[in-house]
Chain A
Amino acid sequence: TDDLDQTPPYEVTSATVYNDFNNYKQVLAKVYAGYALTGQIGPAGDPDITGGDEGFSSYLRQYWQLQELTTDEAIIGWGDAGLPDLHDMDWSPNNQFITAMFARIYYQISLSNEFIRETTDEKLAGRGITGANAETARLFHAEARFLRALSYYHALDLFGNVPFVDENDQVGAFFPEQISRAELFDYVEAELLAVESLLAEPMQNEYARADKGAAWTLLAKLYLNAEVYKGENRYADAMAYAKKVVDAGYTLEEDYDDLFLADNHTANGIIFPIAFDGQRTQTFGGTTYLVHAPIGGSMRPVEDFGVGGGWAGLRTTSAFVGLFPNPEDSQDDRANFYTLGQTLEIAEIGPFSNGYAIAKYKNLTSDGEVGSHAGLEFVDTDFPMFRVADAYLMYAEAALRAGGDLGLAVDLVNRLRERAYDGASGNITQSQLNLQFVLDERGRELYWEGHRRTDLIRYGLFTGSDYLWPWKGGVAEGRAVGDFRALFPIPTPDLIANPNLQQNPGY
């Protein structure tokens, strides 16, 4: 009967994996890779989470879609079940994309918990991991805590009141308790403050690993939105942490466009990227999606984007185009609209020709070389999750809201505008700096980088009728949407699976 004890020859069991220190970095790599990849076979074939299309389940793809497709910045022409609902703002708790996002967030949290649980000081000591290895392991441990805080931040921002699990919960079949949005805010804050000092100094860690700069940026975001999350004014804290980032030594990349190219791992000003590679980090989500989906019509995929073909889905609305003066031929370098054969207004959502296209993410290097994948399908372009420009604008906004150094605020905004206008022609004065300007500037600087929904909510413009954009609420001219849609619903599968969960109001 010993023959009944079979073990897989090419996998390691949990009992032994942590005995070999060489495995630690590979397990940590999985926690990071969870934001980029969808499973253990690239681009698809052994998914981390199941129940839907693997490419659709990509963390970054869904985070981007929930943050962008729901706003004036992006609209998509495909008819996949539940996808049109995002821009229509009539999603239900059964929506497969919301379900996938929720599952991805908790997958990341579970992965992090597992690693955190297995790399405590006691466990390291118990396995004889000492000296430099133990130091390295402790840094890994802190990074895993940061990543867990990042995913909990996404849960806080998107879903609000959510189930809570940490490293003290063993893997199994139990029903996690739900905590309130305010409690979750406190937890994320506490975690980030706790790991802040444990992380590497800004820009001192290996590329694509989190450092203090990443933690400070996230803290600044948390505090900037504290009024939404907790009903508490924390703009002073937001300003303080944004300032830490500003002072950390990040520089602005000279050419804005280079931040979104195949060699953007060398670009300045990216604080924390999600890394992709055409040969070794392949997915149908992530930046593969962000490069392919906006290419259609008369756009030239090979010559201008470095990919074999477009997916003809993503465009933008005229409301967003209107943030740029003279958008078709703007002085502002950031206005990367593709207009040939495209109409400004969207009469029908399906055809790609309706609405301007956006040429921002490309699989070409700054020298015009195509990315590394022979099939021109998977891209080398990394996704800039946090950029220093975001910190500049957060500082400006927090300073306006909390009464900070407006001189510095204007200076920081003008640094971005000087780059955009290749000179001082676009600079503003302190009198021109107001909250609406900051929001619009965030649109111009950070569009399609996954910030817009959070920004519109903070400004009270996401729901209701104060700000209408084309096809908001599912009609061409836009219409008011219920305030409850500022939070996404807890997906139905999880409501059924966990009796401790209460649905968000309105759903």
Chain B
Amino acid sequence: SGDVQLELAASNWNKEQGYISKSLKATLHDLQRKFGIQFSYKADVADNLQLRVPASLEGEKDADLLLGRILAPAGLSYKKVNEVYIIQKTAAAPAPVNNVVRQLRSSVNSQTNVTVSGTVTDETGVGLPGVTVVLRGTTRGTSTDASGNFKIEVPQTGAVLVLSYIGYTTQEVTVGNQTNINVVLAQDTKALQEVVVVGYGTQRKSDITGSVTAISEEDFQQGNITTPEQLIQGKVAGVQISSNGGAPGSGSRIRIRGGSSLNASNDPLIVIDGVPVDNSSIAGSANPLSLINPNDIETFNVLKDASATAIYGSRASNGVIIITTKKGRAGDKLKVSLSSLASISQLRDKVDVLRGDEYRAVVNQYATDENKALLGDADTDWQDLIFRDAVSHDHNLSVSGSVKSIPYRVSVGYLNQEGILKTSEMKRATGSVSLNPTFLDDHLSVNLNVKGVKSEHQFANEGVIGSAVSFDPTQSPYDNREANRFGGYFEWYKIDDNGNPIVNTLAPRNPLSTLEQTDDQSDVSRSIGNIQLDYKFHFLPALRANLNLGYDVSKGEGSITLPTTLAAVYVQGGSFREYSQEKTNNLLDFYLNYVEEYENIQSRVDFTAGYSYQKFKNEQPPFATFNIAGDTLVQAPNPIESTNVLLSYFGRMNYAFKDRYILTATVRRDGSSRFSPDNRWGTFPSLAFAWRINEEPFLQNVTAISDLKLRVGYGITGQQDIGGFYPYLARYSPSNTEASYQFGDTFYRTLRPQGYDENIKWEETKTYNAGLDFGFLNNRISGSLDYYFKKTDDLLAIIPVPAGSNLTNRLYTNVGSIENRGLEAVLNFNAISTEKLTWDISLNGTYNENEITSLSRLEDEDAVGIPVGGIGGGVGNTIQVHTVGFPTYSYYVYKQVYDVNGRPVEGLYADLNGDGSITDQDLYRYKNPEPKAFFGFSSQLTYGKWNLGFVLRGSVGNYAYNNIKANTFYSNIDWEGYLLTIPSSINEFGFVGPDDPNRQYSDYFVENASFLRMDNLNLGYNVGSILNDKVNLRVTATGQNLFVITKYDGLDPEVTGGIDNNFYPRPRVLSLGVNLDFQ
């Protein structure tokens, strides 16, 4: 639709005194100079749109009011996202546009014309005013009236209309024989991406030089989402999000471009409305992020490379996720939204175990005579007993609008989520308030956000998941023998001469009893808030001062009550323990931002410099443990209190020349209380360059290419989150009462000198990034390609220290290097875009390689490395190793030998070093838990009022150690006074055990866990206006985790860490939702 000059029908207003006609671009430029504000809009559509604006801006004091006045007649409005004004269309308030449509200029030949009329509506059926309608290949065009109607003369044959509108996807319609054409324009979900929230401010997307992905509400995952990070699962290239299990509110492991640390945290920094939050756990909550209501979130911005993250310096090595919550808008009418979602969660699969006669036969073959007598006559499926179909419901109400030019948004939410493991439950009430008023003639804008949550948890003992798999299926869950002191539940016990039970302490406890008799509950509250004052200097509006004061406080408290009838604590008379924790995090940020265009040299400069102070405090008061009678079992330990302070100076310069060549330089200097005065300061610089190739003259006429940008960047970031707070300090730590030592008749609590490294400092990650953004055919096809290389030096790792040189055997110190390199690709495809039918497809994929390149102060090529990855079945057994030259967490196993039929031969392994015997010299490194590649595939299909979407997520080349299978061997049914059952997979390999100590280390149990998962399938129907047009109703049905395609033999191939040992299964969730918008 390129160069169409549209003079709007409202042109008669031009005659009014003091108003002139001006292009949108020029207008916004004036406003920017006048008020120092930034704009964002779809330039190719609207640049030349003519607006009626005051001839002089003199005397105009309020930018928001002025904008409202001049945009409304053109059917436009604006939206403010972090001080940037995004120009878009107002659906709620149709602008009064004159009906007269005038043909402007025609270069069409003398072919006979026919008049075509039609209506353009949005997805909700509301007529769209001001839509540009152009005959393709010409400059002939018009725009729609207030009801969305248009009329245009077109040639009799071959006419194609191009309909475009700000905030909506441009659509082409073949006219054919039609004389009346009704078109539904789909909202352009990319509109928001035009401005990108970056650290300490925002940037135009076109000016971004780093690797940044923005995901807004429209692209979020649907359904029963209880914790924020699940919203973008599978949606962002380079970002891997795996839930830690199916427990209510359980967290996720988030990895951005692989882990750049070894023992320090690999979690990204999370910033919510400008407050970097504490991502470490709070007592009583499975996941600190679950304390944020996902429904309040508007956008996620994921900063991936150093150019984008270096402004966060020492916390940026593993990427940054910036979360922005929803806000009210100036001039908005009252808008009330209510959404409700009801879900049912089901166990997707369970472990198939030996039962019934098959089990009896195995017991009779492999158990001792005494143990054969233990067989019961029940047929109990213990897994069925501990799991249930769980019901959840989630309700959210939000009210937004503007009172006396104070935009506000208030929301409340209530979630009640049951876990599929009986008794586990989370109830959460959330509330949020945001106010964004402006003062002093729009020079001072205030942004106030307060979010609060209170949640109640009931935790189930997850140990029962494993014991339910192995518990003897011939035993009834209940037992009514007279000696039973266990609440009538079956337990493994003997009866002594006095008729009292002696619990077999080695046997597993009855899983059902454990669940039903455990009361493990907590109350957690958290509040995050900030007030941001942004002042544009009166004498120099291009200069802003921004002060951000924020806090994040959380408090968790809970108790675990175990009755005397619970076999595990029967002897000590039950148990009662309380715990609590309080965390506070206070923030002060101040920065100055200067934005100026120098037209004479075709340059734009955006300069930011600031200071940040953040203090984290953690307090855990001590509590004793009692039995039910009130006797003290464990004395109260020492209280825990720790403080961590981070002090920073930062600066960023963004320079754009001719809108084509863009340079960004950032630097941050961080000081951390974690390190000694000699080491606590670190400097983290970055430099990046972008070239908008499509803006070059030689491409400007190539209409097929709508966007082409090359980005290269380099930077250094750091990491300091190692858990401990004083690792450099020589200090003495007191023991608790139970670790006292006796001298004479007195017990002394001891003082221990702690191991320490006085030279400990930041680890540093150097990141190189090269990327290409592209868009073709008016961005119908768009995407990006990024290559990255990250090298972490001075790795914060726990390594063995030379014996005798320190006050411990393994020390947190700076040693070694890790490299990650990878490729990310994103492809968005607007496959179909017609009146009734639209189909958007989005694909992202990431390839990542990781290697340890150094791991000690000495280079020793033969070094085995550091064993990690503890497994079940023997204390201290590990299955993984960190070795130089290999990926982190490589499996370290024996090579299984197979017979001619492909069955593994028990106890037979390859003698890799050829010394004639199988020793630990024959272990080799085989695969690792991280995928070679992972990808997400999303589809959104809209047909009339229906929409259908899905998200598929997969990963390739990730391997998992099937720990359940590794403990499967026939002798494992026979134990000291009790029986176990084993998984039916024993029939595949038939190991007898137990005398082969290497059995667990067979590579047979390391399985390919590549998978493809249907994360989400959702269907929506927009009922439209009901109740006299007062309410808009939309209903949805969603299925989550519907199926998984994998060769992996265990229940779920997505095993974070790679050791599959009875984790809380991720349920299949089916949900029905209702959304009501009151207007």
Contact = CB atoms under 8 A, between A and B. Distances in A.
Does chain A bind chain B? yes
Interface of A: 1, 3-15, 17, 23, 25-27, 29-30, 32-33, 36-37, 39-43, 46, 48-53, 55-56, 78-85, 90, 92, 94, 96, 102-103, 105-107, 109-111, 114, 163-165, 169, 171-176, 206-209, 265, 275, 277, 279-282, 296-297, 300-303, 308-312, 341, 348-353, 374-377, 492-494, 496-499
Name B's interface SS.
Answer: loop
Contact of B751 (A17, A109, A341, A351): A17
A494 B758 contact: no
Interface in B749-787: 749-759
A123 to B, nearest CB: 15
A507 to B, nearest CB: 11
A27 B803 contact: no
Given A1-B671, A30-B750, A30-B751, A173 B733 contact: no
Contacts of B745: 207
Given A3-B673, A40-B735, A102-B803, A492 B742 contact: no
Contacts of A96: 876
A298 to B, nearest CB: 9
A105 B743 CA distance: 22
Given A111-B753, A497-B856, A42 B736 contact: yes
Given A48-B808, A51-B800, A84 B997 contact: yes
Given A7-B729, A30-B750, A30-B753, 19 more contacts: A5-B677, A10-B639, A26-B749, A29-B743, A29-B750, A30-B751, A33-B750, A40-B750, A49-B809, A50-B809, A79-B994, A110-B805, A111-B752, A171-B805, A279-B737, A281-B739, A297-B976, A493-B809, A493-B866
Interface of B: 368, 370, 496-497, 502-506, 569, 571-573, 613, 615, 627, 631, 633, 637-645, 647, 671-673, 677, 680, 725-726, 729-745, 747-759, 798-811, 813, 856-858, 860, 863-864, 866, 873-878, 919-921, 971, 974, 976, 994-995, 997
A309 B506 contact: yes
Contact of B739 (A37, A56, A105, A297): A37
A40 B733 contact: yes
A176 B992 CA distance: 47
A312 B506 contact: yes
Contacts of B613: 3
A26 B506 contact: no
A351 B739 contact: no
Contact of B750 (A26, A175, A279, A282): A26
Contacts of A30: 735, 741, 750-753
Contact of B804 (A52, A165, A348, A349): A165
Given A4-B673, A26-B751, A280 B737 contact: yes
A4 B647 contact: yes
Contact of A494 (B749, B803, B806): B803
Given A10-B641, A23-B751, A103-B803, A348 B995 contact: yes
B742 A26 contact: no
Contact of B726 (A6, A94, A102): A6
A308 B800 contact: no
Determine which residue in B496, B740, B805, B866 has the highest number of CB atoms from chain A within 10 A of its CB, and name it: B805
A50 B732 contact: no
28 contacts: A5-B677, A6-B673, A8-B642, A17-B732, A26-B749, A29-B740, A29-B743, A39-B735, A42-B739, A84-B997, A110-B804, A110-B805, A165-B804, A171-B806, A171-B807, A173-B759, A275-B741, A277-B742, A280-B740, A296-B976, A301-B502, A308-B505, A309-B503, A350-B971, A374-B573, A375-B571, A493-B809, A497-B801
Contacts of A82: 876
A300 B497 CA distance: 11
Pick the 9 closest A-B CB pairs, nearest first. Answer: A309-B505, A42-B738, A206-B744, A165-B804, A375-B572, A42-B739, A106-B803, A498-B802, A14-B730
B1008 to A, nearest CB: 25
A204 to B, nearest CB: 12
A53 B874 CA distance: 10
| Most B C-beta atoms less than 10 A away, residue of A173, A265, A310, A350 | A173
B505 A310 contact: yes
- Interface hub of B726, B757, B811, B976 (most chain A Cβ within 10 A): B976
B671 A350 contact: no
A416 B1057 CA distance: 57
Contacts of B860: 496
Nearest to A49: B809
Contacts of B370: 341
B794 to A, nearest CB: 14
Given A110-B807, A497-B856, A29 B748 contact: yes
Contacts of B740: 29, 33, 42, 277, 280-281
A175 B805 contact: yes
A37 B811 CA distance: 20
Contacts of B751: 12, 17, 23, 26-27, 29-30
Contact of A349 (B633, B864, B874, B995): B995
Contacts of B644: 6
A423 B362 CA distance: 54
Given A207-B744, A350-B994, A4 B672 contact: yes
A374 B920 contact: no
A209 B743 contact: yes
B800 A80 contact: no
Nearest to B571: A308
Contact of B805 (A25, A55, A165): A165
B877 A80 contact: yes
B736 A41 contact: yes
A499 B747 contact: no
Contact of A29 (B730, B741, B856, B874): B741
A296 to B, nearest CB: 5
A57 to B, nearest CB: 9
Contacts of A164: 804
A106 B804 contact: yes
Nearest to B627: A374
A110 B858 contact: no
Contacts of A3: 613, 615, 645, 647, 673
A6 B971 CA distance: 55
Contacts of B506: 309-312
Given A51-B800, A281-B747, A6 B643 contact: yes
Contacts of B640: 10
A11 B733 contact: yes
B800 A496 contact: yes
A55 B875 CA distance: 9
Contacts of A279: 737-738
A473 to B, nearest CB: 12
Contacts of A303: 496-497
B810 A49 contact: yes
Given A3-B673, A350-B994, A33 B739 contact: yes
A174 B808 CA distance: 13
B736 A40 contact: yes
A169 B802 CA distance: 13
A333 to B, nearest CB: 25
B673 A171 contact: no
A287 to B, nearest CB: 13
B726 A7 contact: yes
B805 A81 contact: no
B734 A109 contact: no
A42 B741 CA distance: 11
Nearest to A282: B738
Given A207-B745, A282-B738, A302 B876 contact: no
B795 to A, nearest CB: 15
B802 A302 contact: no
A33 B747 CA distance: 11
A40 B637 CA distance: 10
B509 to A, nearest CB: 12
B732 A14 contact: yes
Contacts of A92: 919-921
Nearest to A85: B997
